[in-house]
Amino acid sequence: MEPTPHVLILPFPAQGHVKPMLTLATLLSHAGLRVTFATSQAVLDPLLRHLHLPSFTAAFPSLRFAPLPDGFPTRATTNRHNPSLSQLLAEAFAVTANVTPRLFRELLADLFEKEGEAPTCVVADGIMSFAIEAAGEFGIPVVAFRTYGATSTWVYFHLQTLIDQGLIPFQQGEMDRPIRCIPGLEDIIRLRDLPGFCRQRNSDEGAMLQFFLDQTSAMRKASALILNTFNELEPGPVAQLGSIFPRVYTLGPLQALSKQIIPNSDSDGSLWKKDRACMTWLDRQQPNSVLYVSFGSFLTLTRDQRLEIWHGVVDSGKPFMWVARAGSILYESASDDNIPDELLIATRDRGLVVEWVPQEEVLAHRAVGGFLTHCGWNSTLESVSAGVGMIGWPGLADQQVNSRCVEEIWKVGIDVKDTCDRRTVESAVRRLMEGGDQGMAARVAELRRSAVRSVEAGGSSHCNLMKLIEDVSKMSSKSTLR
């Protein structure tokens, strides 16, 4: 009798990476595969704290967690005082490059020493590419899971070309220069739409660029690629990536796919406690009247940025719900409590400020009519799935590319990157929420229908998950997908 396949999953230890990879872990466990989910102790502790472990274990008995004590930095543990976003990311990438590989090899060795525990394959985050070499030493194939969209992933594969052509780094006056060397995206992506670290404003951004160049190059050696997207949303980039990888599995939207296959599961990998009282507030609002505002799990705003965006939202006159998680304001101190009275009064009258919410439920609520977002990939995909138009105000990594896709390729929102003044925000909110752009509304509805179809039985993402499970089940620890 063949042993049950054992999949070892290794995410980058951040909310936006853990969430989709844990969802995949539950889907594989539900299909009868054994799964080990290995991640930093710094992430695993809050993850387990916010999971209802008895019900989770009962639902997924073949899924277990493996902590990696890598000292991964958070705002609470870093040695820097009030670190900037680029500083914190540079520290995080240093840990994953210099500390985590050793711990991962030790975990693999430990699993091989236990009879019947050797992994069949590894599913590694696309920016944890050291796993490809490490698993190769044990004869284990690795599937890369890039937690960005296909368009952004395709752009990352051309960063070295952009450097070679002298387009990176670039100056402030060149921001709107179109890029013509990325096949399929000619004259769509501009220099300002590249990841922020391409601007090379400091040494930390230089380290980040080199990190992504190294990771993207190493990722080419993976046996296959998993993406949390659906074919109908990004057909061109998905096809282009098929020229690099022997197999590409598009499984998105993963949360929607999970709900289709495991209807009663509540295991979205949140690292924060959700304030569910916000749903009662939404119940009292008119349909499509509320602007939902969230800049995700990692992005920070300066006090001035927050005030300008806040003024713009308030001046639009629309009801709003704003997620303001702890630590989301850079250099925040007690003196920052001096908020103008007009903002406080308007927020009391027609707004709600909360620390963290069940975002997918919020976006699916009948009262929500728009989303002011950082355009992180999970948020972008969840908004597409819910049929909610977006205003993109991106900050880092793939977010700049995603916000360009929102406006220029998919035409489901407004890109306001590199601006932060109240008039621009107010104008964008009014345009999005007042329904004047019928073409945008039709496109939002069309993409929502495509997302729903993709996860239904026979849909592209549903079929790709079944194919992934079938392929993994056929593997042995010495096989590959090639």
Distances (CA, A) of 48 to 64, 132, 293, 354: 11, 27, 27, 22
17 is an active site residue:
yes
CB under 8 Å to 373, separation ≥6 — which residues? 293, 294, 295, 296, 379, 380, 383, 390, 391, 392, 393
Of the candidates 125, 398, 415, 471, the residue annotated as catalytic is 125
Q: What angle do CA 39, 226, 22 make, to 5 degrees?
A: 35
Residues in the chain: 482
C-alpha 226/C-alpha 292 separation (Å) is 30
- What does the block give as tokens for 349? 């009258």
CA torsion through residues 341, 345, 348, 353, sign: negative
142-146 and 224-227 strand pairing: parallel
The residue behind tokens 């700049």 is: 400
- What does the block give as tokens for 449? 């229908």
C-alpha 362/C-alpha 369 separation (Å) is 10
30 is an active site residue:
no
Of the candidates 17, 158, 365, 374, the residue annotated as catalytic is 17
- The answer to whether 95 and 72 have CB atoms below 8 angstroms apart is yes
Instruction: Cite the active site residues.
Output: 17, 125
